[in-house]
Structure 1
Amino acid sequence: MDTTTMNSPLVFGAMLLGTRIDQEQSFALLDRFVERGGQWVDTANCYTFWLSDSGAGGASEEMLGRWLSARPGLRDQIRLSTKVGAEPLWPGSWPQQREGLSRRAILQGLETSLQRMGAAEVDMFWLHQEDRSTPMAETVEALGELTSSGQVRRVGASNHPAWRVEQARGLARAGGTMPIDALQLLATYLHVRPGLRTPGVEHAFGVLNAEQRDLARTNGLEIWAYSPLMSGSYDNPDKPVHEAFEHIGNTRRLQALDVVAGQTGATRSQVVLAWLLAQGIRPVVGVSTTAQLDLAMEAGRLDLDAEQVRLLDETG
């Protein structure tokens, strides 16, 4: 396997591995990702409970474990990212009853994730969904145990409001442990209509907003974008844009996408990925075919000029 290609800034979203994507195709996608210079692979301990026969997560992590076992030495060349906090306590109990972010849930969650993936540590460990029933100090102390032991190299927060992230960061700094340094949220080129539920987002603070961006920019936090391509809606006529994105501002933004796509010879989706990267946002890309993966990886090397970025930024 040729792994000498320049590192890609994209993240491989492994959510559907082991459920909708079988082992043969999972291995093919992961192999191709590494061949194209990919490093970061993102999953969660709850993926994908809503598609599994058991109603529990773990299939994605288990698939990654089988892939790594079949590729000796590859673990040192990739970075593993997983999450804790959203696994249902029993089938059908989510979202009312889920594991949460207590010390016990965090420590057990990581232990199980490492066992599934056959790994000694993870490079990024995300708080998947906020848990206000657990004191933030307890959550932060548990994360501090894991970063101090070396089992977790970095800590991130997904689907959390900005003030809760900064509260956690302050507690970590006060306790001398590693603070959260990354956010993972839904982010794409189109803007969500206020008051409408966004498809695929079951969290009150799941869509990237101005306050979260300001927190990240001011404190040097990374932003990872999940669902950046809206499940193919930018280019697939069989997947129309969801009503949450239907408004005149987005009509104009789609027109701007078409202009830049025409100038670059890229697809709308590729322009969206390139634009996110130009904003300093790292896209998490979930694909089901190697052809889709290749298009995404090519977008990671698409350089938009200043005028194209300005047009995309200011339209709508």
Structure 2
Amino acid sequence: MKYRKIGTDPARQREVSVLALGAMWFGTATDEPTAFALLDRYAAAGGTFLDTSNNYAFWANGTQGGESEAVLGRWLAQSGQRDRMVVATKVGARPLSPSRDFRDIEGLSPAVVREQVDRSRERLGIEQIDLYYAHLRDPGTPLAEQVDGLAGLVEDGAVGMLGASNFWAWELERSRSLAEDRPAYDVVQFQHSYLRPRTDQPGLASPEGTVGVADGALLSWLADDPRLTMVAYSPLLKGAYTRDDKPLPDAFDHPGTPARLAVLDEVARETGATRNQVVIAWMLGAPVPAIPLVGASSVAQLDESIEAVDLELTAEQQAMLDGERERVW
């Protein structure tokens, strides 16, 4: 395993493994024995960065979530690994009542984040949440109020570090500016992979386009301030790189996709690796490096990702992948 530091404040920085393990389906689609086996394998391989949310995974069974945090909490208590693990969870997208969609969610008001941080700590069985993400932009709460509420959690010791996911890039920059000398977002979590999707399609989060994808605005902002860290969710596109039964979403239906897949396949042949492994290796060395956040339903799937950390691409291979990804179509 390899490691890097996250955080802009030396007093709060943490070292994490460059591969993060997502616990989204733990306690719902992934039963507890399987979840524990995955966590054990990840820890044995040197992994130290765990990711969950207070709403995972409500849509699987029509609840309000919390199952994933609870499973992680039981594993942390049983395994004795708490001190090794950097635990990240999220707030802001939990449904107000049992549901299967995101139409009526809690938001990011100071009252909500104060209440939910305590509930998450209780489910996780930990005194402090190492990294606390604002899960989804909340147009109904002024950014200044969001910043104030979240910064207070760090100042009170309930949270070690702040992050944000599924915001517009301008909202992230504005939030950091509003924080002034108070704790601000140090980590961002966005959907990011080698293939590039269209981002002009409206959704529930915004009618202006796709929120939550690492687009040019976000990547250029991160390139300008390398102190910030990006965690990439869905880096392997939910199996679509390698599984015929997992087609690419419609957002990838454009001329750039087959050309990029061809380059990916060429590098995979040269290295003897899988497409998934090349994607992870590329991401770790990309112009804006990211921490791949991988999920797995079996130890074999997880091992494929763990092995990718040691895949060293040549400068020529990295340049070929970068060049095709940056090509205009």
TM-score for both structures, normalised by structure 2:
0.89
Residue of 290, 295, 300 corresponding to 2:304: 295
The one-letter code matched in structure 1 to 2:78 is A
Is contact 2:166-2:189 (8 Å) kept? Answer: yes
| Alignment partners' CA distance in 2, 1:259 and 1:154 | 40
The one-letter code matched in structure 1 to 2:281 is A
Cα root mean square deviation, aligned: 1.7
Residue of 100, 103, 128 corresponding to 2:110: 103
Shift of 1:94: 4.1
Shift of 1:42: 0.4
Aligned to 1:181, the other structure's residue is in SS state strand
Q: How does 1:1-316 map to 2 (within 5 A)?
A: 7=3, 8-52=17-61, 54-72=62-80, 74-92=81-99, 94-173=101-180, 176-196=181-201, 204-219=210-225, 220-279=227-286, 280-315=289-324, 316=327
In structure 2, do the counterparts of structure 1 residues 314 and 6 end up closer, same or farther at CA, with 3 Å as the change threshold? closer
Tell me the alpha carbon deviations over residues 19-44 of structure 1, each in whole angstroms, 9 at most, x when there is no partner. 01111101000010010110100000
In structure 2, do the counterparts of structure 1 residues 102 and 188 end up closer, same or farther at CA, with 3 Å as the change threshold? same
Is contact 2:49-2:88 (8 Å) kept? Answer: yes
Tell me the alpha carbon deviations over residues 40-71 of structure 1, each in whole angstroms, 9 at most, x when there is no partner. 0000000000013x521000000001111112
Aligned to 1:116, the other structure's residue is in SS state helix
Is contact 1:55-1:91 (8 Å) kept? Answer: yes
Is contact 2:63-2:100 (8 Å) kept? Answer: no
Tell me the alpha carbon deviations over residues 217-264 of structure 1, each in whole angstroms, 9 at most, x when there is no partner. 222211111011111111112222223212221111101011100111
Tell me the alpha carbon deviations over residues 116-158 of structure 1, each in whole angstroms, 9 at most, x when there is no partner. 0000111110000011111111111111211112221111110
Shift of 1:96: 2.7
Aligned to 1:51, the other structure's residue is in SS state helix
User: 24-33 or 204-213: which moved more?
Assistant: 204-213
| Alignment partners' CA distance in 2, 1:138 and 1:264 | 50
Is contact 2:2-2:309 (8 Å) kept? Answer: no
In structure 2, do the counterparts of structure 1 residues 121 and 9 end up closer, same or farther at CA, with 3 Å as the change threshold? same
Is contact 1:87-1:94 (8 Å) kept? Answer: no
The one-letter code matched in structure 2 to 1:209 is D
| Alignment partners' CA distance in 2, 1:51 and 1:258 | 34
Tell me the alpha carbon deviations over residues 139-192 of structure 1, each in whole angstroms, 9 at most, x when there is no partner. 11111211112221111110001111111101111xx31111111110011111
The one-letter code matched in structure 2 to 1:307 is E
Shift of 1:268: 0.3
Runs of 4 or more consecutive aligned structure 1 residues displaced over 6 Å after TM superposition: none
| Alignment partners' CA distance in 2, 1:122 and 1:55 | 23
Aligned to 2:96, the other structure's residue is in SS state coil
| Alignment partners' CA distance in 1, 2:197 and 2:2 | 34
TM-score for both structures, normalised by structure 1:
0.93
| Alignment partners' CA distance in 1, 2:25 and 2:77 | 19
Shift of 1:197: 6.8
In structure 2, do the counterparts of structure 1 residues 105 and 93 end up closer, same or farther at CA, with 3 Å as the change threshold? farther
What is the identity percentage for the equivalent residue pairs of Structure 1 and Structure 2?
Answer: 41
The one-letter code matched in structure 1 to 2:66 is G
| Alignment partners' CA distance in 1, 2:218 and 2:95 | 27
Gaps of 5+ in 2: 4-16
| Alignment partners' CA distance in 2, 1:95 and 1:6 | 36
